[in-house]
Homo-oligomer: A and B are copies of this chain.
Amino acid sequence: MSHFKHYQDERPSGGAKVGKATLFQSDRLLLGLNTLSSGVEQRVHTHQDEDKFYHVLEGQGEFTVGTETRRAGPGETVLAPAGVPHGVRNPEEPDLILLMGMAPSP
């Protein structure tokens, strides 16, 4: 495997569903990229045994974590510890591109 990956080379396409690409996966860690085109939503869901984070690379998202919904843009990290409901929606152009990590790997 290559140990060096630029998100602009690896970013998945958007579309009607969340685009997903894997940067790294082991039992311990899943690291990937998500692309959400305008209007696309990842519905609120919960991972009981995995901690998850999103780090916004491009665009703006409306993130829900627990009971809080907030807009976040480039440079922001959104933390969803195990057991905490979370989801994200891209309300508008351009594409929302996220670095996403889960530990352990689901």
**A residues engaging B (CB < 8 A)?**
1-8, 23-24, 26, 28-29, 31, 50-51, 53, 55, 57, 63, 65-66, 68, 70, 72, 75-82, 84, 99, 101, 103-104
A75 → chain B, closest Cβ, in Å?
5
* A51 with B76, Cβ < 8 A, contacts A3-B65, A4-B70, A101-B31 known: no
Pull 13 A–B residue pairs with CB atoms less than 8 Å apart, ordered by A.
Answer: A3-B66, A3-B78, A3-B84, A4-B70, A4-B76, A4-B79, A5-B79, A6-B75, A7-B75, A7-B77, A28-B82, A28-B104, A55-B55
Given contacts A51-B24, A53-B24, A55-B99, contact A31 B1 (CB under 8 A): no
Closest to A64 in B: B3
A79 and B24 within 8 A (CB)? yes
Copies per complex of this chain: 2
With a CB–CB cut-off of 8 A, which chain B residues contact A70? 4
